[in-house]
Structure 1
Amino acid sequence: MLAALLLCPAHFCAAESRLSVGNGNEPETLDPQRVEGVSASNIVRDLYEGLTSLSSRGEVVAGAAERWEVSPDGREYRFQLRAQARWSNGDPLTAEDFADGLRRSVDPATGSAYAQMLAPIEGATEVMVGARQLRELGVEVIDAQTLIIRLSSPRPYFLGLLSHPSTFPIHRPSLERWGKDFARPGRLVSNGAYTLESWTPQSSIRLKRNRYYWNDARTAIDTVVYQPSEDSNTELKRYRADELDVTYEIPLQQAPWLRQHYGQDLHVSSYLGTYFYGFNCSRPPFKDNPKLRRALTLAVDRQVIVDKVMNGLALPAYSLLPPGLSGYTPQRPEWADWSRERRLAEARRLYAEAGYSEQRPLEVELRYNTHEDHKRIATVVAAMWKQWLGVRTTLLNEEFKVFIQNRNLRKITQLFRAVWIADYDDPTAFTDILHSSHGQNDMAYSNPDYDSLLALAAAEADSERRRQHLAQAEQMLLRDQPLLPIYTYTSKHLVKPWVQGWQDNPLDIHYSKDLRIVGRPGEAAR
């Protein structure tokens, strides 16, 4: 007893505070420069911290950098790191670590799907195509705590971008020792509020509180357990059994029942994300065939999908860009306001002009990752195409990693389920992924005029002229139709009443360090 009292100055040992989170698909990696999916990014944001971070409301706040200065022309950012910042093994966190992370993201050898997002940094585009050396990237280490980042032109969203995993620092000794396999339990050294304790594939990823984190004193939760699941009904059962404190999503078919029985736990909020089908524009039948792409787009009744499949928990989408973006209203195609009959008549006309008919129907494969809601939406869309155009659609569901691999290769895909969630609050968070060289352009869309409009917007300091360039680019996407928008997201989570600090926000980003457990049965308040 005496030993116990000596170890616990407060004369008792508080129970460990644990948060259990449903997290969708099994993460593809926890390497910050190579992460792609939302579920992996959720975990990486707990493990690492960027120069900037986000508040619980989604606003940009200081992260590993305690302050920064921006030059009058908006092209140079000078960051001062926190002197007390450390890696999870106790090593000092330095400006060089952030410079290494940025260089690694744009290094072609890394294969980062988000490399193009860092194109605003001076020299990044040339580095990505091998025309300049990594050391020529526009980042300069002044001293251990001071980093300068130079941009090729002003970007109003740049501070928000620096909260994205692709900009996170890298622990060079770990990378040098383990190579691409460094992001594993027992190897990964991180600088965020948590460290990686264990990873059991298809079961759980367990994080432990990082006692070296500069703001550990304000972290309330000791352990975070992420549980992957591709079945939202199974996730709901875990939640009802108190095995989960937060769900990744909800089963759409259960929405009315959940509103009635779990109304106080249900969080539904606007979300900067779009669900769509991507056309592979690099191979038949969609290569050089915008009329066929437009025909299939017009034949989909989005309102039916939102009302019947989504139970009203979404909005019909007519463009890749969702509503709610700061300072920008998405373009609305003319046909969005047509009657259903007029849309179908135009769809049939374009379908015939593309070379298809009842006697020669389109036969196409639609791929989606394994999930009951994706299957339901694909089944409904295929039925619409069959009824109105005579299209014969083969539905192919694939395990998430296989699905992503096939999408990236582009060799066998024709049509595939996709989603894009904003990484920062700006129209370019969406328009840039259709740039011909972007790592997430699985549609293989390539239009020099579109790329030029993005370049004009990137170089434009005047906000109104920049907005006009982006609006022109969006109009071009609506004309070329490299993708089929279906709905814009709302975030949908169940959150236990004892999870405090949760705030709905348009980016749907929630750091575990900002939460606390208060009043859970059997657990002491922290």
Structure 2
Amino acid sequence: MKIRRIAGFAASVAVGALVLTACSSTPSDTESTSAAAEGTSTGIVTANSSEPQNPLVPGNINEVGGGKVVDLLFAGLVYYDAAGEPHNEVAESIETTDAQNYTITLKSGLTYSNDEPVIAKNFVDAWNYTALLSNAQLGSYFFEDIEGFSYDEDSALTGLAVVDDTSFTVKLKEPRADFPLRLGYSAFFPLPEVAFTDIAAFGENPIGNGPYMLAKEGAWQHNVGIDLIPNPAYEGDRTAKNGGVTFTFYASQEAAYNDLLADQLDVLDAVPDSAFGTFEDELGDRAVNQPAAVFQSFTIPQNLPGFSGEEGALRRAAISMAINRPEITDAIFQGTRTPANDFTSPVIAGWSDTIPGAEVLDYNETEAKALWAEADAIAPYTGTFTIGYNADGGHQAWVDAVTNSIKNTLGIASEGNPYPDFKSFRDDVTNRTITGAFRTGWQADYPGLFNFLGPIYATDASSNDGDYTNPEFDALLADGSTAATVDEANKLFQQAQEILFTDLPAIPLWYSNVTGGSAATVDNVEFGWNSVPLYYEVTKS
């Protein structure tokens, strides 16, 4: 995949908005029919997903189940095409002469699905809401570069100013050449004024400006699914070519795959490991197995007993070297995963497989045992090393294989810690009540190398679930973010990864292909750079 490089944004630029959709109050039958008729088909496309962790407020979504939905309900300033290239969606232009001060002009005449106009104030209000400390939004980290942002107190984003209904300005604390590239991520979506009358109620029945909207009030049936239909008010490039999308929240990937084979599910983006050796034969040209910007790891919390200080550094390295990644990826994933060489993704510009320190990812039984013994000389280890995971996500096989590799190599007790579903798992992670290591991964928000590092490992970052902090690492991220060119930035980001290889806040495992497919019931199925199908392109008679 070719991913757009970010250096060109330092001059005057015009980029676009992320692919998202809109929803509203219950539409009439006439609205639903006319919206579908404008596309190339009228069938409702069925797809797999998982119960969103939080209400559907874009700034508080940082997981895949919620992300799939808000990306169809809202439209941002830019959207990304299948290859990760940004295109204007709500933005008419995004301009700067210094990569620090930006003027954003909106297309005129756009509306939400409730006919409320999309105006500049909607972006400024939404960004301020997400950034405000007291609102505790998971996407707040994405606004830290804007003047006025604070981690310590409620503070308005003083760098935002509404010029008029169709334009606003953004002043960053320092130049950020890749700032326009970030604007397709859901944290940057606008919110209509009605959202702020009752944000909790809005999260259950959101009103957006994207290609889809809720089929009716209450279309989100918790732990069951969610029904979307085309939004007749949408005027962007992602116009729905079907009569709607219904997401079903499956308890297992096996159940979803069986429904796909029986033509009871139209699009699947996660083949179960039990079918890795057969799905390409079973689905034929409807199978998908392509590289994606997805990274798999597990995180060891900084406060986990035995895993801090000098003792912790030794144990983290020993754990990493005790994992036979090539054997696991061959035996379980059968050509759908590649052992990791770094903390990012090979499909992103700037990736490298020669970063110093990466040898800690190589299976080395002798060195792993020696490091563990050295740590035991500081303080003997007791107990069981566990890896938490959600049982509804198809993770049991690899977690069992990884913990068995650790157990057999180091001679310690190690096992998986399954949760019944993604939401309960993530709630314990978010609330810091999980009692061991836990599976983590990253599906890129936007196609930039920084996105795999800053949001996960920077101090106080929104997805820094292990509470890692290292001032030297933070400084290199900051220096890379203000670099004049993408090549200069990526060299600094690679240096930052050298620190990660020493500290190992997370243990990199492998890069993921998106493995999925479609039923004979649909056509025009394409998977994007970040592994998510372009649902709006799918046709179904």
Establish whether TM, by shorter chain, passes 0.5: yes
When structure 1 is superposed on structure 2, of 411-420 and 344-353 the one drifting more is: 411-420
Change (3 A) 1:33 1:491: same
Change (3 A) 1:339 1:379: closer
Q: 2:429 aligns with which of 403, 407, 419?
A: 407
Change (3 A) 1:337 1:34: closer
Query: Residue 20 of structure 1 aligns with which residue?
Result: 46
Q: Is the 8 A contact 2:52 2:63 kept in 1?
A: no
Q: Which amino acid aligns with 1:479?
A: T
Mapped pair 1:168 → 2:183: no
Q: Which amino acid aligns with 2:161?
A: E
Mapped pair 1:429 → 2:451: yes
Q: Is the 8 A contact 1:231 1:371 kept in 2?
A: yes
Q: Which amino acid aligns with 2:110?
A: A
Query: CA–CA distance in 2 between the matches of 1:429 and 1:507?
Result: 12
Query: CA–CA distance in 2 between the matches of 1:122 and 1:357?
Result: 46
Change (3 A) 1:345 1:216: closer
Q: Is the 8 A contact 1:46 1:511 kept in 2?
A: no
The DSSP-based 3-state class of the residue aligned with 2:438 is: strand
Q: Is the 8 A contact 1:157 1:425 kept in 2?
A: no
The DSSP-based 3-state class of the residue aligned with 1:263 is: helix
Mapped pair 1:221 → 2:242: yes
Q: Which amino acid aligns with 2:127?
A: L
Query: Residue 180 of structure 1 aligns with which residue?
Result: 200
Query: Residue 338 of structure 2 aligns with which residue?
Result: 315
Q: Is the 8 A contact 2:238 2:536 kept in 1?
A: no
Mapped pair 1:192 → 2:213: no
Larger Rg: 1
The DSSP-based 3-state class of the residue aligned with 2:367 is: helix
The DSSP-based 3-state class of the residue aligned with 1:183 is: helix
Change (3 A) 1:500 1:158: farther
Query: CA–CA distance in 2 between the matches of 1:458 and 1:387?
Result: 42
Q: 1:38 aligns with which of 56, 59, 64?
A: 64
Q: 1:324 aligns with which of 347, 363, 368?
A: 347
Mapped pair 1:416 → 2:438: yes
Q: Is the 8 A contact 2:77 2:184 kept in 1?
A: yes
Q: 2:406 aligns with which of 377, 385, 395?
A: 385
The DSSP-based 3-state class of the residue aligned with 1:393 is: strand
Once the two structures are superposed, what CA deviation does each residue of 1:189-229 show, in whole Å capped at 9, x if it has no partner?
11111111301122220012111112499432222101111
Q: 2:131 aligns with which of 98, 106, 124?
A: 106
Shift of 1:144: 0.6
Query: Residue 292 of structure 1 aligns with which residue?
Result: 315
Change (3 A) 1:470 1:57: closer
Change (3 A) 1:473 1:372: closer
Mapped pair 1:152 → 2:173: yes
Over the residues paired in the alignment, what is the CA RMSD in angstroms? Answer: 2.6
Shift of 1:335: 6.1
TM-score of the two chains, using structure 1 as the length reference: 0.89
Shift of 1:27: 4.8
The DSSP-based 3-state class of the residue aligned with 1:354 is: helix
Query: Residue 4 of structure 1 aligns with which residue?
Result: none
Match runs of 1:230-269 below 5 Å = 230-269=251-290
Once the two structures are superposed, what CA deviation does each residue of 1:338-379 show, in whole Å capped at 9, x if it has no partner?
985xx1111111101111799965522321111373111111
Query: Residue 508 of structure 1 aligns with which residue?
Result: 531
Query: CA–CA distance in 2 between the matches of 1:31 and 1:372?
Result: 23
Q: Is the 8 A contact 1:51 1:163 kept in 2?
A: yes
Q: Which amino acid aligns with 1:190?
A: G
Q: Which amino acid aligns with 1:303?
A: P
Q: Is the 8 A contact 1:281 1:444 kept in 2?
A: yes
Shift of 1:318: 3.5
Q: Is the 8 A contact 2:527 2:534 kept in 1?
A: no
Change (3 A) 1:182 1:330: farther
Mapped pair 1:476 → 2:502: no
Q: Is the 8 A contact 1:18 1:222 kept in 2?
A: yes
Q: Is the 8 A contact 2:341 2:358 kept in 1?
A: no
Change (3 A) 1:152 1:307: same
Query: CA–CA distance in 2 between the matches of 1:361 and 1:346?
Result: 20
Q: Is the 8 A contact 1:20 1:226 kept in 2?
A: yes
The DSSP-based 3-state class of the residue aligned with 1:43 is: helix
Q: Which runs of 5+ in 2 are unaligned?
A: 1-32
Query: CA–CA distance in 1 between the matches of 2:529 and 2:238?
Result: 28
Shift of 1:110: 2.2
Change (3 A) 1:279 1:467: same
Mapped pair 1:88 → 2:113: yes
Query: CA–CA distance in 2 between the matches of 1:329 and 1:359?
Result: 37
Query: Residue 96 of structure 2 aligns with which residue?
Result: 71
Query: CA–CA distance in 1 between the matches of 2:370 and 2:388?
Result: 26
Shift of 1:92: 0.8
Once the two structures are superposed, what CA deviation does each residue of 1:270-319 show, in whole Å capped at 9, x if it has no partner?
11111111001123121221110110000000001110011120100132
Aligned length: 499
Query: CA–CA distance in 2 between the matches of 1:485 and 1:84?
Result: 46
Query: CA–CA distance in 1 between the matches of 2:203 and 2:314?
Result: 45
TM-score of the two chains, using structure 2 as the length reference: 0.86
Q: State, as a whole percentage, how many aligned pairs show the same letter.
A: 22
Shift of 1:156: 3.4
Query: CA–CA distance in 2 between the matches of 1:427 and 1:372?
Result: 26
Query: CA–CA distance in 2 between the matches of 1:490 and 1:143?
Result: 44
Query: Residue 222 of structure 2 aligns with which residue?
Result: 201
Q: Is the 8 A contact 1:236 1:247 kept in 2?
A: yes
Query: Residue 3 of structure 1 aligns with which residue?
Result: none
Q: Is the 8 A contact 1:331 1:475 kept in 2?
A: no
Once the two structures are superposed, what CA deviation does each residue of 1:432-473 show, in whole Å capped at 9, x if it has no partner?
020111121111111111111112222322444322321111
